[in-house]
Structure 1
Amino acid sequence: MTAPVVGREAAAETAGPEASVPEVSVVVPHYRAPADLERLVAALAAQDHPASRLQLVVADDGSPEPPVLPAGLPFEAVVVAQEDHGFRASAARALGASAAEGRILAFLDGDMLPEPGYLTAACAAPAASVDAVVVGRRRHLDPALLESGWRPGEPVPEAARLPEPAWLAEAYQRSGDLAAADSTSYRYVISAVLTVAREVYADAGGFDPAFVGYGGEDWELAHRLWRVGGAFRHQPAAVAWQADEDFGGRGDAAERTAVKQREALRLAARITATTARGHGLSLPGPLRVGARVRAEASGDAAAVVGVDALLAAAPGARVGVTGLGSGAARAALADPRVWIMDGVGEAARADLPPAPARGDLGAVRGIPDWSCDVRTPLRPAAPGARPDAARAADWLLRLERAGVERVEVLGEPQAAEEPGEAARGERPVLAVLTCSRALWRSRRGGDSRVWRVPAARLGWAPVARDVDLEAWWGGWG
C-alpha cells in the first residue's frame, strides 16, 4: 500500500550545481511513533543536502493509525505500509528500499535525529563508488532534552550527551574507520545510520524480510554486503542522535542477555564468520569455505589425506572430490561434509560460479566466502604436523584485511626435462583460493588483488602419491 507523494513539486525544481549532487532516498521504518517521525522529518528539512535531490520513504510496519506526513515539505516524501505481523523492521526496510528512487539509499531508524551535515557526509563515498557501505556515527542524548525546547539541528549541550559504546569506538579506531575490514566487521555496521549505493545493496539481496523480532537483521545484511564486495567505511562526520542510551545500557540486564542470545542463535545459521558460529560447527546455509579436491593426478590415498587436512583446517567446509577411483577411498570419505563429484562438466570446474541475478538473496547465500580449488592435494609439510583451525581462520581474515581476494598456492620450480638442462622457472599452481568478493566486484568493474605464494612459505606441501595413510592418521608421518 502506498500513500500519496508529498512535496513533489518542490523536489522537481533542480538546477545549477544541485544537478551534480547525488539523489538519495532516506528509508525510515516506522511503527506507532508520530512524535519521533515529526522530529526526524524536521531534521531532514534542515539538511544541507539539496532538498531537490532528497526523497523520504517512510515504511510503516502496520501501525493501527498510518503515519501522516506534513504538507509543504521541501523534498519528495512517500509512505508505504505492510500489515502488522509482529516486529518486522527488516521487512519494512526492504519494502521502503523497493519504493526508493535514489541511487543512494540512506537507512535511518525512526528515532534518529541527523545533524544538518549528515547526508552530505554519509553520501560522499557511495556517490564516488558503487561498492561503498557507510556507517555513520550514532550518538546518544538525554531524552529530557527533547522536552526543553531543543530542536534538531541545534547544538547538543555537553550535559545532555550520553556515553557512546566504547566497543564500537575501539573497533573503528583499530580498523582505521573500517578501512581494514574483514568478514567479522559486520558487527560494526548498524542499520540506524547505514548508507549504501543502490547497486551493492541490490547485489547483496537487500534486507531479509524473513526476520521477525528485534535485532540481527542489520548484521546479517552487513555480512552479505561484505560477501558481495562492499567496501565498509565508518564516517564519523555523519552524526545522528538518538534520544536514549545504547542497547547495552537499557532496561533489565537479564532481558538484554536473553535478547542477545536469541540474536546470536538466529545469526549462527546465517553468518559464516567465526564470530557468529565458532570454528567447529558445520551448519546448513552459507559457507565460509567451499572446496574441490582433485584426485585425478594424485591418486586416491593422496586425495583422502588432502581432504582430511582441509577439513581439519576448516571443519565447517564442504568438499567435493573429483576423479576418485576405488570404492575403498569413497567409503573412507563418507563424511556428510564431502561429496563425490562424478561426471563434472567444465563449468562446474571453474574457480567460482557466475554471479547470480541482482536481488537473489538465496543465491548470494549459496556462494562460499572462499572457494578453494585444490588441484594437487596438500598437507602440512612437517612430519606429524596437523592443521590448526583457529590459525587457518585467522589467515583468511588477514587476507581480507589486506584486500587480497585471490591466492595462488605454488609448488617448487619444475625440474629439467632432460639431463644437463637447467631447472625450468615455472612453478605449478597447486591450489587457488578465490574470495566471493572478487566475483561481484568484477561484475561492477573492480579489480582483484592476487597473491602468488609458494606452498612451502605457508608450511604446506603436496601429498605424495605413496603417502603412508597409517602414519598420517596415527600422527607420526
Structure 2
Amino acid sequence: MTEVSVVVPYYEDQDGLDRLLAALARQTMPAQRFELVVADDGSSRPPRIPDGLPFGVRVVRQADLGFRASAARALGARAAAGRVLAFLDGDMLPEPGYLEAACALPLKDPESVVVGRRRHVDPRAVEAGWAPGAGLPAGAELEEPAWLIDGYAQTKDLRRADATSYRFVISAVLTVARQIYEEAGGFDPSFVGYGGEDWELASRLWRCGARLRHVREAVAWQPGEDFGGREDPVRARRVKNAEALTLAGKIAAPTARGWALGLDGPRRVGVRMAAGGAGVDGAGAGGAGGRPAGAATTADEAAVVLSVDAALQLFPAAQAAVDASGLGAAARGCLEDPRVARVASPEGGAPAEPALEEAPDWDVLVHEPLCPAEPGRRPDPAAASELLLRLERAGVETLVLTAGGEPDGAGPVREVGRLTGVRGRRREARGGTATTLTLPVQRLGWAPVGEAPDLEGWWGGWA
C-alpha cells in the first residue's frame, strides 16, 4: 500500500531527474511504501523514466504557460495516492534516510507539516559523481543560508512558531499530511514566476492549525547556493520585492504587510463589539446575545465610539463590526469609517462570529467598551502585534480578558473581552480543543470605559 507520494516539479532537466531517481532508489524506506509523481511544467519533451525502478512512478503534465512550479505541485498532489505528500524540488538530492525522517510525524499526525534540512553542495562534486550517503570531498560543502539557521533556532525548530514562521517553510524539502494539505487548499496554481507559493501555502496551513516542525535529520542536498547566493544582489532584491508585493495581499502576518495597511485578502484582526454594554442584562447562562453573565449594562454612546476608536488605534488594519442598533445619529456618524461595519445584532448582542473561511487570524470580541487604563496613554499597535505573536508562540488559541473583583473592587469578576485565534477554531471544528488563557484586562493596561467617559478628553489627549 502506498503511504507516501513524493511530488517533484520538473522542467527539462533530465540529468537532475536521473540523479533524484537514483537517490530515491537508495532510500531506507521500503520502496513499496512510496511512489514518485513527476509533475512536468510544460517541457518540450516529457521526462524519461527508466525501467526497473523499485518504486512506482507516474508522470503528469501541464501546458507551458510560464514558470508555474506551484501549479505543477498542485497537479502532482491531485494525482498522488499517498496519505503523506513529500514535496521535493527537482534538483534536490535526498540522503538515504530522508523519507523515513521527513515522513515519521505526518504518518502519525494528520495535522503535521515537516520542513527538512536543505544543505548545499558544490555542483562540481555532483558532476564528478558524488551522491548522498557518500563522504563529501574536501571543500565541497557550501554554507547554508544564515536566515534559515537563525529562524529554526529562534523558533526551537518551529515548536514555538507563530504567524510569521511561514518564512521558514520551503517547498524544496516540504512534507505534509494530506488531510491538512487539502483542508488548507493546497498549492495555489495562480502563481507564475519565481517564489512565494510555499510561503503562501505555509500561511494557510498555519491558519488551519497545522503543527510545524523542522526535522534536521531529513537532509537533502541542493547543488549550488540558494537563490540569494547565486543571483546578482540588485536583481535578487527586485525579484524578492515583486514576491513581497504579491504576498502582501495573500498573507495577514505583519512580516508580509506590516500592521497598518488595510489590504484586501486575509485579515490579521477583526473586532466585534456589542451595543456598548447597554440594554443587555447578564441573566442566564452566558447572558443574552452571547454576553457573559455579569457583564456591565450602563455604558453609553460615547463609550461605544471611544472604544471603537481605541480598538482601531490598537489594530489600525482591523475590520470592526459594531452593533449600532441603539445608537443615535451623531454616534452613528462618528462610526462612518471604511473599517467599521455598523450592524444590528439579534437581541442586542455582539455581531455574529465570522465563518471559518472568512475568519481573521484573531477575532477580538469586546463585551463592554474598553480603553487604556492610564489617562493620556494611547494604544501601541506594535506592542499589540507582538502580543498576538507571543500568544501564538506559547500555543494560546483563546485569551479571555476579565475585569472586576480584587484589587479594584468593582463587583464580581466578569468577562469583558475575548481573543479567539482561527487555529483554535479550526482544531475545534476537527473535534480537538483550543488552549485557553484567562487574564485580567488590567494586566494589559486596559480597563472598562465606565459610565461617564470623557470623549472630549480622549480625543484631546488628556483623558
TM-score past 0.5 threshold: yes
Distance in 1, Cα, partners of 2:405 & 2:316: 31
Deviations 1:61-86 (A, max 9, x none): 11111112112221121111111111
Offset at residue 323 of structure 1 (A): 3.7
Aligned AA for 1:398? R
Q: 2:421 aligns with which of 431, 435, 455?
A: 435
Report the alpha carbon displacement of residue 299 of structure 1 after superposing the two structures with TM: 2.5
CA change 1:458–1:150 in 2 (3 A) is same
Residues 100 and 346 (structure 1 numbering): CA distance in 2 closer, same or farther, change over 3 Å?
Answer: farther
Asked whether the equivalents of residues 49 and 120 of structure 1 are also in contact (C-alpha less than 8 Å), the reply is yes
Residue matched to 2:294 = none
For 1:146-157, list aligned pairs within 5 A. Answer: 146-157=126-137
1:327 offset after TM fit, Å?
Answer: 1.3
Q: CA deviation at 1:96?
A: 0.8
Shift of 1:237: 0.3
Matching residue within 367, 371, 375 for 2:363: 371
Counterpart of 2:285 in structure 1 is none
- Is this contact kept in 2: 1:42–1:152, CA < 8 A? no
Q: Secondary structure at the match of 2:397?
A: strand
The amino acid across from 1:386 in the alignment is R
Deviation, 1:465, is: 3.2
Residue 383 (structure 1) aligned to one of 372, 375, 380: 375
Distance across 2 between alignment mates of 1:284 and 1:299: 33
The residue that corresponds to 2:394 in the other structure is 402
Distance (Å, rounded) in 1 between the aligned partners of 2:265 and 2:272: 18
- Which runs of structure 2 are paired with 1:304-319 in the superposition (5 Å)? 304-319=305-320
Question: Is 1:331 aligned with 2:333?
Answer: yes
Distance 2:345 2:368 in 1: 19
Q: Aligned-pair distance for 1:153? A: 3.5
Distance 2:208 2:81 in 1: 22
- Find the aligned partners of 1:441 and 1:186 in 2 and give their Cα distance: 19
How far off is 1:146 after superposition?
1.9
Change (3 A) 1:46 1:254: same
Q: Distance in 1 between matches of 2:390 and 2:410?
A: 34
User: What is residue 290 of structure 2 aligned with on the other side?
Assistant: none
**Counterparts of 1:386-465 in structure 2 under 5 Å?**
386-413=378-405, 426-465=412-451
Q: Which moved more, 1:151-160 or 1:137-146?
A: 151-160
| Counterpart amino acid of residue 280 in structure 1 | A
Matches of 1:125 and 1:392 in 2, distance apart? 33
Instruction: State the 1:344 CA deviation.
Output: 5.0
Check conservation: 1:290, 1:372, Cα contact below 8 A: yes
- For 1:287 and 1:331, how far apart are their aligned partners in 2? 25
For residues 299 and 256 of structure 1, what CA distance do their matches in structure 2 show? 55
**Greater CA deviation, 229-238 or 322-331?**
322-331
Which amino acid letter does the alignment assign opposite residue 26 of structure 2? A
Report Cα offsets for 1:88-123 as digits up to 9, x if no partner: 111111111111111111110000000000010111
Q: Secondary structure at the match of 1:48?
A: coil
TM-score computed with the length of structure 1 as normaliser:
0.89
> How far is 1:446 from its partner?
2.7
Q: State the SS of the aligned residue for 2:6.
A: strand
Measured after TM superposition, the shift of residue 350 of structure 1 is 5.1
Number of equivalent positions: 440
Among 85, 89, 93, the alignment partner of 1:113 is 93
Name the aligned partner's letter for residue 64 of structure 1: S
User: Contact 1:39–1:152 (CA<8 Å) still a contact in 2?
Assistant: no
Instruction: Name the SS of the counterpart of 1:376 in structure 2.
Output: coil
- Which of 213, 221, 227 is the aligned partner of 1:241? 221
Superimposed CA distance per residue, residues 217-264 of structure 1 (whole angstroms, 9 cap, x where no aligned partner): 111111111111111110010000000111111121211111011011
Question: Structure 1 unaligned runs (5+)?
Answer: 1-11, 13-21, 356-362, 416-421
Summarize the Cα distance change of 1:152–1:428 in structure 2 as closer, same or farther, 3 Å threshold: same
1:396 is matched by which residue type in structure 2?
A: L
Q: Give the 3 Å change call, closer, same or farther, for CA 140–413 of structure 1 in structure 2.
A: same
Q: Which amino acid aligns with 1:388?
A: D
Structure 1 residues 450 and 156: CA distance shift in structure 2, 3 A? same
Distance (whole Å) between structure 2 residues aligned to residue 373 and residue 148 of structure 1: 62
Letter in 1 for 2:455: L
> Do the aligned residues in 1 keep the contact of 2:43 with 2:64 (CA within 8 Å)?
yes
Give TM-score scaled by structure 2 length. Answer: 0.91
| TM-aligned CA distance change 1:423 to 1:87, over 3 Å | closer
| RMSD (Å), alpha carbons | 1.9
Question: How many Å separate the matches in 2 of 1:320 and 1:388?
Answer: 21
User: Identity of aligned pairs, percent?
Assistant: 56
Residue of structure 2 in register with 1:42 after alignment: 22
1:334-393 per-residue CA deviation (whole Å, 9 max, x = no partner) reads: 11111101255899845553x4xxxxxxx3xx2200011111111110001110000000
Counterpart Cα distance in 1 of 2:349 and 2:371:
27
Which one of 313, 328, 340 corresponds to residue 342 of structure 2? 340
Cα deviation, residue 413, structure 1: 2.6
Partner SS for 1:434 = strand
Distance 1:258 1:198, change over 3 A: same
> Counterpart of 1:127?
107
State the one-letter code of the partner of 1:75: F
The answer as to whether partners of 2:274 and 2:348 remain within 8 angstroms in 1 is no
